[in-house]
Amino acid sequence: MELLLYRSESEERDPEEKLDGAYRLAGTGPTPRLLRTLSYPIVTTPRTPAIDSTLTNPPLLRPPLSALQNPVLLATLTSRPDLFRVSTPLHISHLATFLEPHPNRPLVESVLLGLREGFWPGHDGNFDSIAHLADPPTRLEENDLVFLADSALKDFEKGYLSPAFDTLLPGMHISPSFVVRPEHSRARQVCDQTISGLNDGISRAQARTQYDALAELGALMRYRRRRGEDKHFHMLWKSDVAGGFRNLPVHPLWQLKQIHRIRLLDSKKRSTVVYFVDQRLILGGRMSPRIFCDVMNLINWATRYHFYLEFPLAFVDDDMGFDVSGGRAFVEHPETGERRLVCAEQAKLLQMWTFLGWPWDWAKQLESDSSLVMLGILVHAVDFTVTLTPMAIDDFVTFVHEFLAFKQKRPPLFLWWRLLGYLNWICNVLPFIKFALQVLYAKIEGKSQRNAGVKINVEVERALLWIVEEVSSATPLSFLDPALEQWGRGDADVVLYSDACLVANRLSPCDEPQSGLGFWARVKGVKYSFWHRFPPSWDIRYAEALAIFSAIIWAADTFAPRRILLFTDSALNVYAFDSGKVHDDMLDLVGTTYRYLANRKIDLRVRPIRGEENKHADFLSRTHPSFFRPRPLEVIAEFTPLTHLLGGLFQ
């Protein structure tokens, strides 16, 4: 059935013209949140959020009065001064000179004071609730004990630990240590300051840290490409600080809370317990990343200010960049004397590190004019794509299969957390797997016992196997993909408007109640309008989503566009399609929409519109078809939602 529909021109104005900041849905940006980690305005100027954070970050906190005047703590420090030492390889006076022009003096002075007297990790000074735990909640194997003992010996030789002693002193606390052994990487000791309760006294807000991520690297590369600077020379480079957190001292009062309990095994497997004071910043402290990054980012600020390194990017202890200058320079290692020729940007950074005493090794200073692993992601310098390395894919697939094969299919909660962290990292290059993550989050919602087993259900298993297939077969993600760029109504090939209602108008009170869907678009001068009626059975949220889904599928199949822009007055659905964060029945509908569009290489934006600006779509969803009136170049037809496409998101 086709009829012609009359609507006044005043109801067809571009609603985006009336959508100022007050009208837009909170959280909606120029690109979908699904892609927000990698999204760019059409003209992208590189940013350095890590360095910029030093301009606004508050100063690092000093020990509270309750700790400074605690007689027990002070007595212990006085009785064994040989156990407590503040030291750093950094040349503090040199750093102070380089930071004299920095405008955020409170932060700078707090960092310099921390280097001289030891950093305080922002703890409130209330130690009454700290647990006295000698061992982690999981049993340490013999090889773990040997590894922890060897690590303690090496850290002592490097100057990180005090001499060994055999008796705990008043005011000392032990945080249990455990060992993590990542695939294809060296084992690491982690001191668990969470289970001991130390981290509870540190504000999460105070510990927030700003990093430079893959998005900033992509923006820099796009910037160089747009200006044509990469035609003759381009070099990805990455530099890593040797020792990381261990280069920074903590305050003696905090050293009291960083006691390592080490079991030494003799040839007959008999154990002897000794203790060490950890005098440096450690992995496992809530505030450790914030303290380290403030120091690292200030050094990068000084490098940019004094050595004119334009866009140094930093992620914790990794610096990176994209050099198109064509310059090369020799750099000499301060200890070994080995000289190497490196790209100009990396040379500036290493020269600054050398002058400041910030330690580095040649093995971790990398550059490539083709591809380089940065932040664990393989970045290609020529075609501007990012992807997982074959080894990373293999490691992930192995991890998932081991997770699914866990005894009785009940992995402990901490393995679920680890898996979700793994998946969120993979989302950098495969953003659409976020749909499957919600199945996992829903399964562990409200659970907090880290060692308690959580049952793997059929839905979780299906979602994980789907992710494995997606990861194994994914093509590289391009920094130049138009889907990552900001665009508006004038750039769209099809602009759609949709609406739904649960109670449509009836011709008479005797008629059966019905719900309705409606959507419309104007393409090449022709106005297309569609309506559908159905018995009331869905909630309005799902009905609105089904109208959006139907409009998008129709436009994709009819016009094969590159870009679809859709307006809806359903705030919940704008958020759902913008972020992909939905549950239950909506997950399959939103996820199927994006998967359908991805297969056809169509970019989608869903934008909010005020109800009074969406009258025609509301008219289609609510009005009885007998009231439709014809007008030239306007086509109206009934449609049937293609619900048969649903139900197979993770198949």
- Assess if CATH 3.40.50.2300 describes domain 53-198+244-281: no
Of 236-240, 465-469, 549-553, 579-583, minimum mean pLDDT range:
579-583
- Most confident by average pLDDT, 222-231, 331-340, 512-521: 331-340
Give yes or no for residue 135 having a pLDDT over 70: no
Arithmetic mean of pLDDT, 32-51: 76
Give yes or no for residue 25 having a pLDDT over 70: no
- The DSSP result for 151-167, as a single string, is HHHHHHHHTSBPPPBSS
pLDDT (tens digit, 9 = 90+) per residue, 164-219? 999 999 999 987 887 877 666 677 777 878 777 888 899 999 999 999 988 899 98
Query: How is the chain split into domains, by residue range?
Result: 2-30+487-645, 53-198+244-281, 214-239+290-386, 389-478
Give yes or no for residue 228 having a pLDDT over 90: no
pLDDT at position 439: 85
Q: How confident is the model at residue 628 (pLDDT cuts 50, 70, 90)?
A: confident
Q: Which of 198, 237, 422, 443 is nearest to 341 (CA)?
A: 237
Helix axes 458-473, 434-444, angle to 10 degrees: 150
Q: How confident is the model at residue 77 (pLDDT cuts 50, 70, 90)?
A: very high
Give yes or no for residue 293 having a pLDDT over 50: yes
Arithmetic mean of pLDDT, 340-358: 96
pLDDT (tens digit, 9 = 90+) per residue, 391-420? 999 999 999 999 999 878 899 998 999 899
Mean pLDDT across the chain: 86
Give yes or no for residue 131 having a pLDDT over 80: no
Distance CA 503, CA 336 (A): 79
Q: Which residues of 245-261 are buried (b: 16+ CB within 10 A; e: fewer)?
A: bbbbbbbbbbbbbbbbb
Burial of 640 (0-12, 13-18, 19+ CB in 10 A): exposed
pLDDT at position 272: 87
Q: Which residues pair with 321 in a beta bridge?
A: 237
Helix axes 105-117, 288-307, angle to 10 degrees: 120
pLDDT at position 37: 66
616 vs 25 pLDDT, higher one: 616
Strand boundaries in 194-349, DSSP class E:
235-241, 259-265, 271-277, 313-315, 318-323, 328-332, 339-343
- Most confident by average pLDDT, 116-125, 133-142, 636-645: 116-125
Arithmetic mean of pLDDT, 122-141: 70
Q: How confident is the model at residue 3 (pLDDT cuts 50, 70, 90)?
A: very low
CB-based contact 388:375 (threshold 8 Å): no
Looking at domain 2-30+487-645, its CATH architecture is 2-Layer Sandwich (3.30)
pLDDT at position 148: 87
pLDDT (tens digit, 9 = 90+) per residue, 600-614? 889 899 999 998 899
Of 24-33, 166-175, 278-287, 335-344, minimum mean pLDDT range:
24-33
Helix (H) or strand (E) holding 59, with range, is none
pLDDT at position 487: 82
pLDDT above 90 covers a percentage of the chain that reads 51
Arithmetic mean of pLDDT, 354-376: 94
Q: Which residues pair with 639 in a beta bridge?
A: none
pLDDT above 70 covers a percentage of the chain that reads 89
CB-based contact 587:546 (threshold 8 Å): no
Q: How confident is the model at residue 45 (pLDDT cuts 50, 70, 90)?
A: confident
Arithmetic mean of pLDDT, 28-44: 67
Tokens 């000179």 correspond to 97
Give yes or no for residue 276 having a pLDDT over 80: yes
Q: Which residues pair with 275 in a beta bridge?
A: 165, 261
| Secondary structure string (H, E, C) spanning 87-104 | CCCCCHHHHHHHCCCCCC
Q: Which residues pair with 272 in a beta bridge?
A: 264
pLDDT at position 507: 66
Could you tell me whether strands 563-568 and 235-241 are parallel, antiparallel, or unpaired per DSSP bridges? unpaired
- Assess if CATH 3.30.70 describes domain 389-478: yes
Give yes or no for residue 9 having a pLDDT over 50: no
Structure token digits, residue 588: 């399959």
CB-based contact 570:497 (threshold 8 Å): no
- Most confident by average pLDDT, 139-148, 209-218, 484-493, 640-649: 209-218
Residues 6 or more apart whose CB falls under 8 angstroms from that of 128 comprise none
Arithmetic mean of pLDDT, 516-544: 89
Q: How confident is the model at residue 263 (pLDDT cuts 50, 70, 90)?
A: confident
Of 138-142, 149-153, 296-300, 459-463, minimum mean pLDDT range:
138-142
pLDDT at position 139: 65
Give yes or no for residue 319 having a pLDDT over 60: yes
Sign of the C-alpha dihedral, residues 492, 496, 497, 502?
A: negative
